[in-house]
Structure 1
């Protein structure tokens, strides 16, 4: 089944409703985007999620820091939370006005309901940007020179919460020394101080900070372990609560074909109760760059061939239009625009799929995208996001 509609805001809403109708029998729906930096793709995620909530889904899951997820959840359930402060602690791609608006909608929705929608985060790390500030504050009580030196090291490595080390290397902004080595240097400086409660608290934070940077992509990141752990957390939550879940992530993570990624584990655990949705695009702009037309031999290129305008939705489990049916059961490529994407080398940024049908249940293609709107600044707090404490 193939459908078309334009990408105006009201048509994105209708597309979300149609997408939800195709996957609402699932227990977990993975909404994967080929880039996290496109306003229209996030809009499709949000509108599809709203429609699924109306159909009984009660949890939104994100692959982010679990402590941030706890604060998201408090906010959407009505707590007195400074949302911009919370988003300042989030993984960089979530720090957008679109994310803020989506969480605001969930909060308003919950105010009218007795069965609130919850938010969970299933990422592995529990280190926040605010932890670095807290550690330096405690050190300042003990030894000002050590606090200054540790603060200088933190000023470098804390940037990984905005843009990962692998992204910094790709863009030529990485200082060279692995951040885990700088974190270990900071820990050694603190170990040289006299013992006491403040020093012990700082060392606990530094142990977590060292572990966080030791797991960085390109350093010691174990993608198989991290993806399986995230899937295990999500499935455990679903089995414990019985609630149906919408997962917001990148398409490479939600893809259901066999492998090490999150979606593969969800398909193995849930079978057809897991639905994988791929939201992708043709061309457009994201913050800082223009994106060219997709490769003609890509999934996007094939689905957009012929020039029909509007969002194209393909249910891969049903008979498809004649011109795309031969593509869906054979190996294919789809574009993935991550933080290391280079528009001048577009051909290098395609994910190989065993076949679209093996990887996804539904695909939606937006012909043209525009950039998300990043929040102007991140706010760091000792206890991020909470007011009046």
Structure 2
């Protein structure tokens, strides 16, 4: 048997093929054996801000639910939010994206949304064995909990309802939990409210055997006990109570439902760490038992923990707006050995057969990387948790080589295409795609092609690398310099259109729809006016990311609003703006209305999901358009986010390409002839135009 830790890892590790949640599960199946008979499993990483680790959590959930019989996924979020999210995964009721706005920032993410949508899909085919969702934190218990308890007593013991309502008077938070909590914390004597919450729980428990109602009343008590504390330097957030509550509520669900439970959290909570100490500079280190240790004490070998680790990469914290590059693990961190010798990504059973040297290594107290609400890359090793050994804390380690790499190691690959419609005298679409900016526009009315080209040419001045201050800005979208630059360019384009109209009355009725994306590292600013659409393929799912009076939801097809909005050179534009984060593997498509029926169709979806390059997607969409012609001009930009640096040369198509080549505006007769020649062919400039990183 290999003797050193690195040799043992190389022999015992089970390679992980990918973190992609939609990938086949063969490489994860050994995990089922590693967990043995565990009926409650906690898992997470030492950071909440690395995309690949979070998607790996989603991927791990699939075999445990599909093949391991786990029937509940728990989150360390508010109990009442969990009730609403459970309603979505069980029945489809509610908008999960809107529901997640009430979650803490590290849970209000696309990755968590992806898990919820996967759970909903799973349940639609298994109405008799659904997977449930429960949240186990009491930190923000909503008014619905109080209403549920009172309603149950009103039905089962109506004569005691008034008594219960009296106990809960003033305790319910109404619609503003933050304001209610501030009021409670400001009371000179909070013990009276805590006592009333406890008395209400005891009353309910004496009136009913309904376990759910009693537990809901218990969570209300937890809310007040949690927040009835004065901040102490060693535990300013009362994390000791948080940890006990997480464990109590998860164990309650497990015991009362009989479900095997998978707890999605962080390794600081999930590890079996009775002496766990956290070091989150600049705060002083603090030591207290965590939820995993309480669960292990309660459930014994029925509780197991999985630690997700990484060696280096990029991540975001949940309290700072910028991203960080995390250096390779320092020698004093446990991850330094896990990442040695370029072992790749793998699962490792920490309780598999091992030689004495490995057993000693796994049995020693270790330091594990833990990056919390603040992070200093220059002091990386100071961000850690300790107080136990790997063998004590975890059953399994899942190691990823990097987190989400940002700024470096990401780029785009682009292709464009444009084709005039058979009913068009001249192609009125204008298209531009460069390394930093992609913009597409459709003109309307007489001179619409010139108007669209003028708008796109104006906006193309943004195709330069954003200044450094924009690269670090990921704040609220309405204050983002990256978004402001797109909005400003649209205002300038509209002003230029106004000058064109004042100079030449032929363009009086010209109007333009426009959609643009500008990149800054992994951040992208999306802005649009009108109906030039934007789409996204992420993890195999199709989304429309521009509004045709819809949200960012998977769409079966286009929805057309009654009142389109244009750039007209007169009224000040009010573009829709949003800030997004791109990641390798995503595909964005910008298109004009000629493709509106093609892209969401089964043929269009197959093309944009399966073709390997942007140029192949453009070619395939144009072929599909020729099979089902539309009277409208049709143009598109296809953008693949890649792990390679961007090396894109500027591309133009449609009216902008004609203008750049100095072609005059066609007369009606000439335009008609040209349309007949080209209605089944894309503009020549759109051929052979893919730029690879």
TM-score, normalisation: structure 2: 0.41
Q: Distance in 2 between matches of 1:53 and 1:375?
A: 36
Q: Which residue of 1 aligns with 2:81?
A: 68
Q: How does 1:129-148 map to 2 (within 5 A)?
A: none
Offset, 1:268? 0.4
Cα distance per residue 1:254-290 (max 9 Å; x no partner): 1113241000001101111101110010111113111
Question: Comparing both chains, which one has the higher relative contact order based on Cα–Cα distances under 8 Å and sequence gaps of 6 or more?
Answer: 1
Q: Which residue of 1 aligns with 2:61?
A: 49
User: Alignment partner of 1:285: what SS?
Assistant: strand
- The yes-or-no answer on 1:333 pairing with 2:333 is no
Offset, 1:233? 1.1
Relative distance call for 1:49 and 1:105 in structure 2 (3 A) is same
Q: How does 1:1-389 map to 2 (within 5 A)?
A: 1-7=12-18, 9=20, 13-23=25-35, 25-54=37-66, 55-113=68-126, 114-127=128-141, 180=182, 184=186, 220-259=236-275, 260-287=289-316, 288-309=323-344, 311-320=345-354, 324-370=358-404
Offset, 1:128? 6.2
User: Alignment partner of 1:258: what SS?
Assistant: coil
User: Alignment partner of 2:265: what SS?
Assistant: strand
Q: Distance in 2 between matches of 1:238 and 1:116?
A: 15
Q: Distance in 1 between matches of 2:27 and 2:355?
A: 18
Offset, 1:82? 1.2
TM-score, normalisation: structure 1: 0.71
Relative distance call for 1:180 and 1:209 in structure 2 (3 A) is farther
User: Alignment partner of 1:121: what SS?
Assistant: strand
Q: Distance in 2 between matches of 1:95 and 1:312?
A: 28
Relative distance call for 1:264 and 1:8 in structure 2 (3 A) is closer
Structure with a larger share of its residues in helix: 1
Equivalent residues of 2:76, 2:136 under 8 A apart: yes
Relative distance call for 1:320 and 1:12 in structure 2 (3 A) is farther
Aligned-residue RMSD, C-alpha: 3.5
Q: Distance in 2 between matches of 1:2 and 1:53?
A: 23
Q: Distance in 2 between matches of 1:7 and 1:79?
A: 29
Relative distance call for 1:220 and 1:331 in structure 2 (3 A) is closer
User: Alignment partner of 2:308: what SS?
Assistant: strand
Offset, 1:122? 0.6
Equivalent residues of 1:95, 1:375 under 8 A apart: no
Equivalent residues of 2:333, 2:381 under 8 A apart: no
Structure with a larger share of its residues in strand: 2
Offset, 1:105? 0.3
Q: Distance in 1 between matches of 2:143 and 2:229?
A: 16
User: Alignment partner of 2:392: what SS?
Assistant: helix
Cα distance per residue 1:62-102 (max 9 Å; x no partner): 11111111111001002420111110000110011011111
Q: Distance in 1 between matches of 2:109 and 2:240?
A: 28
Q: Distance in 2 between matches of 1:359 and 1:103?
A: 28
Relative distance call for 1:293 and 1:126 in structure 2 (3 A) is same
Q: Distance in 1 between matches of 2:308 and 2:355?
A: 18
Task: Indicate the larger mover: 219-228 or 236-245.
Answer: 219-228
Q: Gaps (5+ residues) in structure 1? A: 131-153, 159-178, 186-204, 378-389
